[in-house]
Amino acid sequence: MREITPSIDFDKRLAGEDLAGSRAHVRMLASEGIVAKEDASAILLGLEQIEREIADGKFVFKRELEDIHLNIEARLTEIIGPAAGRLHTARSRNDQVVTDFRLWVRAACERADHGLLQLSRALLTQAELHAATIMPGYTHMQPAQPVTFGHHLMAYVEMFARDRGRFEDARKRLNESPLGAAALAGTSFPIDRDVTAMSLGFSRPMRNSMDAISARDFALEYLAACTISAVNLSRLAGELVQWSMPAFGFVKLSDAFTTGSSIMPQKRNPDAAELIRGKTGRVLGDFVSLATVVKGLVLTFGSDLQEDKERVFDAADTIEISLAAMAAMIADLTADPAKMRAAAEPGFTTATDLADWVVRVLKKPFREAHHIAGSIVKRAEEAGVTLDKLPLAEMQAIEPAITDGVFSVLSLDASVNSRMSLGGTAPARVKEQIRLWRERLK
């Protein structure tokens, strides 16, 4: 029992929230006349001393006292004597722990949101530099159509904005107070749950005491938001790994974010990006793990629920370091526009522009135009030239109606500039998006 029961090794991270919860509770007890004012004052002074001891690293956490709640209460008794015992009036560790935990997860939502904001700003700054930098856009990892690097980066700004929305939603939904639900059924003392809820910054008390004790969907929702965010981050991490390969050379990560090899002196390994990508697994694991703990668990409290905290702490630590590392890595990288353009040149990435021209000017149906463009690509491939270097006569051999007006759409710049549809990659459009996000992320 001594080995399996304690949670203090990890729930000491709830100390700040536990102190806040206790303060709110004892103030309410005093103002409702449930405990004497003098006892409440003594308790508040004692809690203050404990806070200092914890901050100074002088507080002795004892495993035999099981968890943070009992550790603090025991120390309070040492400091102020038997009056400490009045703090737990009309409260149980069951509502206490989940109050602490909601406060902790609420702050974690805010930290994740901030991390995503910083990352988005870093992306925005690079996107501003490269709103018109041409690179190949890929589908199936095959060169598809030219795009701008700024446009590509802005795709992640959109993604991370949705991630922020998920944390914001989770925060909004979890922000109700379980305090006062007591063990599970409420209490016979005339407590005021509105008062404790408000003083802890909750929007309202939870309406059902049994739900208040049992619910962990708020933690699952936070973990789900972390998971989706980690998955999105892992895609950007994957791009960085690929873009920084010498075969691509699209970006150079700074020395601070690459490491050498113990044997190969030339290496610049993108470790941070790989680690961010790799850590996605543990965040998803945290979600699956807690969902598995809660699944089938009948109401209300069971010590199974003590297993909730480590998952959340681990996911929070992981997402926060990943976001910080990614933001710094993005801010620090140097893009190589010449390499990007060189990679977009081969691969006939303006073949769609050719087909579109045939539709627009020669009034052919798109399917037929697609076929014509395909034959021209084949010819250019045989001749070993890009589409804009293929002589007009060669094109006319395939479709006699083609005129030299076609060359106006075959260059990379023409292609990119023509993608003016809403959400398109034309630099003018990209700059528009950047301006909009600059404003939003102020």
Does position 306 interact with ligand ARG (CB under 6 A)? The reply is yes
Query: Which two three-digit tokens encode residue 355?
Result: 């087909």
Pick the piece of the chain touching ligand ARG (CB under 6 A) from 41-49, 93-101, 122-130, 386-394: 93-101
| Residue 139 CB coordination number (10 Å) | 8
Whichever of 23 and 93 has its CB closer to ligand ARG, that residue is 93
Pick the piece of the chain touching ligand ARG (CB under 6 A) from 19-27, 161-169, 219-227, 298-306: 298-306
Does position 11 interact with ligand ARG (CB under 6 A)? The reply is yes
**In the complex, least distance from residue 285 CB atom to ligand ARG, rounded to whole angstroms:** 20
138: burial class by Cβ within 10 Å (0-12, 13-18, 19+)? Answer: middle
**In the complex, least distance from residue 89 CB atom to ligand ARG, rounded to whole angstroms:** 17
How many binding residues for ligand ARG (CB under 6 A)? Answer: 10
Does position 353 interact with ligand ARG (CB under 6 A)? The reply is no
Maximum CA extent, the chain:
100
Is 88 assigned a catalytic role? no
Locate tokens 């702490």: which residue?
Answer: 313
**Coil, helix or strand for 269?**
strand
**Coil, helix or strand for 138?**
strand
Binders in 356-415 for ligand ARG, by CB under 6 A: none
**In the complex, least distance from residue 317 CB atom to ligand ARG, rounded to whole angstroms:** 18
**Alpha-carbon gap, residue 73 to 90, rounded angstroms:** 15
Does position 133 interact with ligand ARG (CB under 6 A)? The reply is no
Catalytic residue of the set 31, 203, 254, 261: 261
Whichever of 212 and 273 has its CB closer to ligand ARG, that residue is 212
Read off the DSSP letter of residue 305. Answer: G
Concatenated DSSP letters of 206-256: -S-HHHHHH--HHHHHHHHHHHHHHHHHHHHHHHHHHHTSTTT-SEE--GG
The region, left, alpha or beta by phi > 0 then psi within -120 to 50, assigned to residue 312 is: alpha
CA 167 to chain centre: 8
Read off the DSSP letter of residue 131. Answer: T
Interface residue with ligand ARG among 23, 86, 93, 152 (CB under 6 A) is 93
Binders in 32-91 for ligand ARG, by CB under 6 A: 67
Read off the DSSP letter of residue 143. Answer: E
**In the complex, least distance from residue 101 CB atom to ligand ARG, rounded to whole angstroms:** 8
**In the complex, least distance from residue 303 CB atom to ligand ARG, rounded to whole angstroms:** 6
Does position 94 interact with ligand ARG (CB under 6 A)? The reply is yes
Is 261 assigned a catalytic role? yes
CB 416 within 8 A of CB 426: yes
Query: Which two three-digit tokens encode residue 349?
Result: 């990435």
Whichever of 105 and 395 has its CB closer to ligand ARG, that residue is 105
Does position 303 interact with ligand ARG (CB under 6 A)? The reply is yes
**In the complex, least distance from residue 81 CB atom to ligand ARG, rounded to whole angstroms:** 25
Does position 22 interact with ligand ARG (CB under 6 A)? The reply is no
Nearest to 4 by CA among 284, 307, 293: 307
What are the catalytic residues? 140, 261
Binding site for ligand ARG (CB under 6 A): 7, 11, 67, 93-94, 97, 301, 303, 305-306
